[in-house]
Amino acid sequence: MTVALLIQGGALAVKREDFKTCEQAAFCRRHRAFADAVVQSSQVLPKTDSSNNMSIPQPASLYSVSNNTVHLDGHTLRATVSHDTEKVPLKLEILFLANGIVRMRMQEETPFLARFDETQKHVLRDEGSALEYASPDAIEHTSETVDGTTVHTVRYNNNGSEFGVRIVENPWSLAYLHGSKPVIELNHNGFFRFEHLRQKPSADEPSDVDGGWEETFRSWTDTKPRGPESFGMDIRFSGFEHVYGIPEHSSSLSLKTTRDDKEGYSEPYRMWNLDVFEYELDSPMALYGSVPFMVAHNPDSTVGVFWMNAAETWVDVTRDKSNAFSNLLRLAGGSSKEHAVNTHWISESGLMDIFLLPGKSVADLYKQYSTLVEPTRLPRDFALGYHQCRWNYIDQDDVLAVSEKMHEHDIPYDSIWLDIEYTDGKRYFTWDSSKFPDPVSMQNQLSHDGHKLVTVIDPHIKHDTAYSVWKEGNELGYFVKNKDRTGNFQGWCWPGESSWVDYLKPGAMDWTAKQYHLDKFNGSTTDLFIWNDMNEPSIFNGPEITMEKDIKHYGDWEHRDLHNINGMLYNKATYDGLCTRESPSKRPFILSRSYYAGSQRYGAIWTGDNAANWESLRVSVPMVLSNNIAGMHFAGADVGGFFGNPEKELLVRWYQLGIWHPFFRAHAHIDTKRREPWVFGEPYLSIMRDAVRERYRMLPYWYTLFREASLTGMPIVRPMWVEFPKQTDLFAEQSIFMVGSSIMVVPAMDSDMSKPLDVSFPLQENWYDIHTHSLYLAPLKRQFTVDLEHTLVFARGGSIIPTRERQRRSSVLMKHDPFTLYVYMSRNGTAAGKLYVDDGESFDYENGAFIERKLSFANAKLTSRASPQTIESPEQKAFLENMKSVRVERLVIVGLRNQLTKAVVSENGKQREVELEYRGSSADRECVVRDPAVLIGNDWDITFS
């Protein structure tokens, strides 16, 4: 009862003692202490060569570039970096990519042991083979002496854009230049430190590194057989006040300072994928996913850093002019009068592999990032609909009853989900036959109305010699081994004692993929899709609820080296399995809790086990936005909150917000009360039904946004600064956001309905309430009081938004429905948009089987033209034939300057007049064409007069 009351009241509390602080992680403790020592010992201000206005930082770094080792070799600048006293030279490689990205790699020139370098194989696009490097002929390398030290500058051009990098030899530092101005600076403050691999001291010798050879946390001892191998680097964003990204944390959108700031944190942001039960809010604690991609933005430029390392990583953030630590930094390393964000990145193992992304625009930055890790792939269309889930729907009858209730109350939905209780004793790829006697029949009944089934498949495999999956995996040697490799590692999770697949072992990923095939997963059909949960991995009897770091994987690599990509490797196996279970292949749908950069290729993610309280509702916005900033576009939060029982008003508000997140799923803990939309009765049922229907109306817009993201890498839901990059008052805004470039969402997230919402309408724009079409002329600040039935969502003037207005039971049943186009006028009487349609399930779109239209309104004419991406092919021809009758059934033009009385359609060389209704100033000069009947696959014009 006490626990239930705590959950209901929102007083969730993580067991903080189960998870490390930086002080309890020896390598983080060492690097933070090193940074403190550097700051305290550095007293020299930067020197300036007045002849060229070049500022050279002078931190107390012990690292420098060795004499006469810098040379340009094709697209790579190579050098040797040495420590003043540790005589282990480091190999520095700086690689120049054609699009302006600079890649910096560092490790020992002659490693005592090999370092883990397989992260790139699993993260980079096409395992790194697709990276396009700059032409050596376009690269210019010059050297000069400034204040007694050698400075190297590399400049190169690509399609008229100039990029530059400056390397200072002593002390060693690197700066990425916009023109002559440094924007990203490495080792500016002298925090660079590289712990070289070495021989272990003998038993009678003192340890040479604090916690370097053994470390104990609670009852677990990490034996650290390789010894200390961590490294750290300070990265400074000069001229910036705000940095974003590095999910996943329950934190603010603009990252907070982490040192000596009362308004910030005392701990660094941590990236170490963990199952954190009842995670705390407003915290830099590690959660389920890690994407070490940070973005800095100011009114003039947007830049980024991708720190590609799968080991445990901590990031400190400080700002110049913000606190005592930053004041010391300015004394130590120097600063100009402009703002700067100083970050300190620390990783436990692997090698240093950093990508510097120059931007300069937001679109440039995401195009660059997508060339590295690949953008989000187009999902199955049903995945954008409403997902109904709880732990657990009891049995087959319960599933079908919930589905029928959805139909009874006219609530569209696309999938219903089963958590772990559907299995035979937590043995995945099986069914509890007493509860689900005929799962194929159940799936067929669901699919009759276009619905899918999603089942959870976790990575732990029950240790049971009679369980065919465990037996086969064990016989093939595919499981992760224990520390001395004498047997399988055994841990405890939902089934009890379990084994985990080693995805580095050749053949293991293919074997895992085959478990999803219809002949292996008995009772499954091609209408069943997968939820990968607990894949951090979560291990109940492990340190920090995960796998011990010194557990061995194939190749004698320790788990510490690859932990953060472990969940993604499992997702890839699942993805491959669903792709190959039928021929021709169809697009999978997978939800994953754990993720890393690259996971966006395989499916959706969510913010994990949140709580049914208003605070969790509010923090879901910056969490989903931060994931989108880091390229994890298909993201959402459990609607209603996983833990606890939401009050009626909270549940309504969560639905009203959830429909504007890319992934839209209601979910609940097994101990919570039922909370499907009809449970609370009226008026709550009608309000939630209206919200879900709003989602389905907007599915054409959502699918078109996913198409854009798949081509450009642009976020789908966007912080306001992404669309309004020069409006500084929006740089920290996290309670209002954009969906694509056309829709602004102002969610109501407070229990007090009388509390007004402040809305700032940006720039010289027209903004329209999408429900009433009321016009708001920006720049404008307004307060709105919003009752439970209403929401604040605004269309941006100059947008054309496609919808489908006919309500069906599922999105599958909408495939041939006609479209409505909403044209929201800009101040100059123009508008533009896109519509993208494909079959929503196959990969034929890769060969041209799609319709993509550029829509524009200008000079009283609406036009539709094929996009430049259109591909003529047999697949395209077949798709056009399939969609030949799909038309635009309604056209709504909002914000007209003058009355319209006539509309003439031109299509296929013929003209015809269509019915037009002008509603006048009472409806903000709205014009409706009831059935222009133009086909979406054709070029056409509609001229108004």
What amino acid positions are annotated as catalytic residues?
533, 536, 609
Burial state string for 262-293 with b = 16 or more CB within 10 A and e = fewer than 16: eebbebbbbbbbbbbebbebebbbbbbbbbbb
Tokens 């309500």, residue? 807
CA triplet 333, 336, 338: central angle to 5 degrees? Answer: 125
Q: Which residue in 885, 884, 895, 904 sits closest to 944, CA to CA?
A: 904
What crossing angle do the helices spanning 684-697 and 648-658 adopt, rounded to 10°?
10
Per the listing, tokens 């944190």 go with: 265
Please give the C-alpha separations between residue 564 and each of 308, 775, 851, 852, in angstroms, as whole numbers. 11, 48, 38, 37
Which residues make beta-bridge pairs with 345?
233, 315
DSSP assignment string, 676-742: -TTTT-TTHHHHHHHHHHHHHHTHHHHHHHHHHHHHH---SEEEHHHHSTT-GGGTT--SSEEETTT
Task: Tell the burial category of 30 from Cβ atoms under 10 Å away from its Cβ (0-12, 13-18, 19+).
Answer: buried
Backbone dihedral angles phi then psi of residue 103, each to the nearest 5 degrees: -110, 130
Asked if 546 and 276 count as a contact pair (C-beta separation under 8 A), the reply is no
β-strand pairing of 289-290 with 595-596: parallel
Do residues 459 and 534 lie in contact, with contact meaning Cβ atoms separated by under 8 Å? Answer: yes
Both ends of the chain: CA-CA distance in Å?
69
Q: Residues 6 or more apart from 754 whose CB is under 8 A from it?
A: 785
* Angle (nearest 5°) at CA 579 between 574 and 582: 125
Residue type at 231 in one-letter notation: F
- Are the beta carbons of 135 and 376 closer than 8 angstroms? no
CA-CA distance, 552 to 28, in Å (whole number)?
A: 23
List, in order, residues 6 or more apart from 673 with CB less than 8 Å away. Answer: 645, 679
For 509, half-sphere exposure in the C-beta direction (CA atoms, 13 angstrom radius) is 17
Within 8 A by CB and 6+ apart from 459, the residues are 500, 501, 532, 534, 535, 537, 567, 570
CB atoms within 10 A of CB 941: 15
